[in-house]
């Protein structure tokens, strides 16, 4: 009879929508104690998808996003001073307003960064890791922001 009561209490517990609680503690605990750092099976060469990413990827992702924000700001400043946007898609968005331009730029950049971080261990064309592309984008954005900054100094 006690066995039956135990089964009934389990069923009562499963009636709720979700038994897990989600909080910032969950996020922090999951970040600090990520479980999958390596391969699951001996037959796998290397893991493609893990719970843990190298801190360098965090630096690159955050830095690229900050450089993208600076690029948007400098672009708007240069356009106010008579420059022309060379990217035809962004030129259309600037024509619709600065909010549309900034929101689209941040959304596209952020989604691209998320995909590159998620796929950072995969190989592109069997040549290089996808994470290296994030390094390339960071470098390009850094050069672009430096170029825009120097151009802004010359315009003043």
pLDDT digits (tens, 9 = 90+) for 124-141: 777 777 778 889 999 999
CA separation (Å) from 65 to 85, 86, 112, 113, 137?
Answer: 20, 21, 10, 8, 10
Question: Which of 56 and 26 is assigned the larger pLDDT?
Answer: 56
123: helix, strand or coil: strand
Are 51 and 34 contacting, i.e. CB atoms less than 8 angstroms apart? yes
- Nearest to 110, CA basis, from 88, 75, 134: 134
Q: How far apart are CA 120 and CA 48, in angstroms?
A: 8
pLDDT at 16 over 60: no
Two structure tokens written together for 101: 């331009």
Range of the domain at 53: 2-155
pLDDT at 33: 61
Q: How far apart are CA 121 and CA 56, in angstroms?
A: 13
Give the tens place of pLDDT for each residue, 57-70.
889 999 999 999 99
Number of domains in the chain: 1
Name the E strands within 6-155: 123-124, 128-129
């Amino acid at each position: 009879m006690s066995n039956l009561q135990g089964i009934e209490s389990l069923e009562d517990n499963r009636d709720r929508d979700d038994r897990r609680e989600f909080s910032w503690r969950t996020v922090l605990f999951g970040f600090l104690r990520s479980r999958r750092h390596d391969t699951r099976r001996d037959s796998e060469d290397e893991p493609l998808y893990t719970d843990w990413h190298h801190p360098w990827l965090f630096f690159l992702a955050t830095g690229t996003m900050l450089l993208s924000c600076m690029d948007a700001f400098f672009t708007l400043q240069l356009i106010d001073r008579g420059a022309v946007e060379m990217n035809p898609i962004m030129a259309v968005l600037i024509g619709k307003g600065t909010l549309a331009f900034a929101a689209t730029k941040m959304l596209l950049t952020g989604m691209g960064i998320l995909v590159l971080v998620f796929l950072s261990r995969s190989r592109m064309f069997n040549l290089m890791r996808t994470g290296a592309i994030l390094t390339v984008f960071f470098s390009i954005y850094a050069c672009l922001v430096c170029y825009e900054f120097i151009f802004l100094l010359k315009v003043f």
